[in-house]
Amino acid sequence: MAQLPSALAVAAVAVLLFGLLPAWSVAGTWTAVGIAVLLVWLSAVAAAFCLAGLASLRRRDLT
C-alpha cells in the first residue's frame, strides 16, 4: 500500500508527458523513475544516519 502513491505519481507524469510531449514521454518517464529511486535512496540514507545518531546519543550522559 505504501508504494501505491509513488507508482501513481510516476504514472501521472507518464500520462502528462504523453499528452503534452509525445516524443519525450519515454525519456521523461524514465527520468521521473530515476528521480523517485534517488529520493528513496536519499531517504533511506537519512533515516540510517538519524538512527545511528539516536543510538549514539543513548550512550551519552545527558543528565
pLDDT tens column, 22-47: 999 999 999 988 988 888 899 999 99
Cα 14 from Cα 8, distance rounded (Å): 10
Those residues whose C-beta lies under 8 Å from the C-beta of residue 10, and which sit 6 or more positions away, are 29, 32, 33, 36
Residue 14 φ/ψ, nearest 5 degrees: -60, -45
Cα 15 from Cα 47, distance rounded (Å): 32
Residue spans of the domains in the chain: they are: 4-58
Cα 28 from Cα 35, distance rounded (Å): 11
In this prediction, residue 6 has a pLDDT band, given cuts at 50, 70 and 90, of confident
6/45: higher pLDDT: 45
Q: Above pLDDT 70, what percent of the chain?
A: 97
pLDDT tens column, 50-62: 999 998 888 887 7
C-alpha cell at 16: 502528462
